[in-house]
Amino acid sequence: MSPRAPAFLLCVVCGLVALPGGAEAPVAPGKAAPVAPKPLPGPAKARARELGIPFGGQAGVLDAITDVPGVEVGHSTVISGQGRLVVGKGPVRTGVTAIWPRGKVGTAPVFAGTYALNGNGEMTGTHWLNESGYLYGPVLVTNTNSVGLVRDSLVAWAVKRGRSWELGLPVVAETWDGVLNDIDGFHVKQEHVFNALSTAMGGPVVEGAVGGGTGMVCNGFKGGIGTASRKLPEAEGGYTVGVLVQCNYGKRRLLTVAGVPVGEEISDLQACTTGDWAPSSPLITDMPSCTKQGASRASYPEGMGSIIVVVATDAPLLPHQLGRIARRVPLGIGKMGGLGEDVSGDLFLAFSTQVTLPATPGPVATVSTLDNERMTPLFEATVQATQEAILNAMLAADTMTGADGIRVFALPQDRLMEAMRKYGRK
């Protein structure tokens, strides 16, 4: 993970301690690594905007989904163990991320819409969301096998606060982290969900291998959580669009950044194993041993993953218009080389923080709506911010070794920039 911003992270019975430069140090068996309320000190890893990657548009102050007023993000990160996979014990590389549209204390729903590019995934609660046009409460993102637990935990959190009616149909989305994580061990627990919900905050968002993105792989590099934003010129309304992704999709050879075939330029550093045993998963066969440059070929089905994208805006949009925003997300993914592969769950949700309820209780609410002919700048902002959030997820993540000693490498910033210069894009 990147130490670039304050955040509240929960790391339970950690088996690895982060060292400067992204190295990993083992912790003695049976002992928990210290839990730090703030990231370890060290130089911040540069984000796409700081590197001058030309995605276009003007970023918000934070270049994050939290540039949209009221939005809060929280993570719980669960890391423990190393070595050979023992189901139920680890190694564990997983977590949960919470996105509150109106913050933890906000009780009014927001207008929302969804879209699925490829439905090989799960996002609970969307039947009522699409029927009513309302999103009540947070969006949570975790690993595939933890969707049910996270969903039930949010309901339990709501019951404790007298909000079970309001939050009875939670929105929980997932991507599969079974390459690096003991996904069948069900290591996300209720306390992790409660922590992500209760410690969510505005301001800078920690990215990379944190929260729900802890064990994710993106375009063959270490992936995870990424975010970005765009601020429209006043002549186009001055609205803000923020995007948060959980990036776990894509084929290395197709990875494209601002038109540059980065995946072709960095074809090594493929996932490899540090152990002297075969990986347990039937999906991973003939994985080569690690060298300094990793493997030279992919050893498990590329494109096997998913991507979840949440788009926030303060533009006055109605649910059907937010569905239009969600349908523009795949354009950004496509520009990065995504295909919406058969085994990928590519699910997107967009919401607006405009007022939805009357100031005084009553049967009629007066809301605003942007003219459809003024939506095109919002479409462009969504495409730009989606691309940048995907790249930020990879730039923030460090190399990680997980279940069965499988190692997934970070995207090397120096080689990325070398490729950008080679094609005249920097």
pLDDT tens digit string along 38-66? Answer: 333 445 799 999 999 999 999 999 999 99
Label the pairing between strands 72-80 and 92-100.
antiparallel
Does domain 16-35+56-356+368-422 fall under CATH 3.60.70.12? My reply is: yes
pTM score over 0.85: yes
- Supply the DSSP string of 190-220, one letter for each residue: HHHHHHHHHT-BSS----BSSGGGTT-EETT
Say whether pLDDT at 4 is over 60.
no
Predicted confidence (pLDDT) at residue 94 exceeds the cutoff of 80: yes
Considering the chain, what is the average pLDDT of its residues?
A: 89
Q: Which residues are catalytic?
A: 306, 344, 346
Question: What 3-state DSSP class applies to 341?
Answer: coil
pLDDT at 31: 34
DSSP letters of 136-185? Answer: -S-EEEEEGGGHHHHHHHHHHHHHHTT-TTTTSS-EEEEE--TTTS-GGG
CA 113 → CA 23, 117, 310, 312, distances in Å? 41, 14, 10, 11
**Residue closest to 412 by CA, chosen among 150, 222, 153:** 222
pLDDT in tens, 208-241: 999 999 999 999 999 999 999 999 999 999 999 9
CA distance 10 to 15: 13
Under 8 Å between Cβ of 370 and 315: yes
Domain coordinates in residue numbering, the chain:
16-35+56-356+368-422
Range name among 50-64, 104-118, 283-297 with the lowest pLDDT average: 283-297
Bridge partner residues of 262 (DSSP): none
Is 349 within 8 Å of 310 (Cβ atoms)?
yes
In this prediction, residue 176 carries a pLDDT of: 96
Neighbours of 272 (CB within 10 A): 22
| Strands 171-175 and 139-143, bridge-based pairing | parallel
Q: What angle do CA 119, 170, 185 make, to 5 degrees?
A: 70
The confidence score (pLDDT) of residue 203 equals: 97
pLDDT tens column, 6-24:
333 344 434 333 333 333 4
Q: What is the mean predicted confidence (pLDDT) over 135-161?
A: 98
What is d(CA 86, CA 97) in angstroms, rounded to the nearest whole number? 25
